[in-house]
Amino acid sequence: MSGDDASAPDGAESQRLDKWLWCARFFKSRSLANALLAAGRLRLDGTVVSKAHQKVRVGAVLTFPQGPHVRVVKVLSLATRRGPAPEARTLYEDLAPIPERSADPADAAPLRASGPSRDRGAGRPTKRDRRAIERLLDDNGSGR
C-alpha cells in the first residue's frame, strides 16, 4: 500500500476515507470526496465524519448521499489502486442498492420534476399556424 495507508495501533489495516471513496468510484476525484466530507454529509458506522483523513477499515458501514439517492455500503476490502469499475465493485457491498432504471419512458415520467404543461396549440403559434393566419388575412383583403 502507499504512504497514506497505515496499520492501526490494534494491527488492523486502514486507509484514508477520501482515497477509498475515490478508488471505489463513488466520486470522480478525491477533491469531490473531500467536499462531501467537509460538509459533514458522510456517516462512518453511524458517526458523522467531517475530515478526509479519517481512516476506514474493513467491515465499516458508510452512509452518504449520491445524487438523489442515499448510499449505504459496507467496506469489504481496502483499495490498492483506482481500477476499472468491476474491480471497484469488489471493494464494497451495497446494503441499499439503487433501483435499476426502466427503459420504458412512461416509468421515468413520475421521477422527473413536473414542469408546466399546456394543451397542444394553446401556446405561441407555430410557423405553420403563422403562415395560415397570413394566408387568411391576405384572402380577406385586410392583410398587407
pLDDT at 20 over 70: yes
* CB 99 within 8 Å of CB 83: no
Cell reading at 68: 438523489
Please compute Rg for the chain using Cα positions.
27
- The pTM of the full predicted model, rounded to 2 decimals, is 0.64
Residue 93 phi/psi, 5-degree rounding, is: -115, 125
- Residue 120 vs residue 45, higher pLDDT: 45
Calpha distance 94→62 (Å, rounded): 10
Calpha distance 83→79 (Å, rounded): 9
Name the average pLDDT for the chain.
Answer: 83
- Residue 79 vs residue 101, higher pLDDT: 79
pLDDT at 124 over 60: yes
Task: Output the pLDDT for position 87.
Answer: 94
Cell reading at 111: 421521477
Average pLDDT of span 53-57: 94
* CB 25 within 8 Å of CB 85: yes
CA angle 12, 55, 60 (to 5 degrees): 70
Calpha distance 35→24 (Å, rounded): 16
pLDDT band at 99 (very low <50, low <70, confident <90, very high): confident
List pLDDT tens digits, range 36-50. 999 999 999 999 999
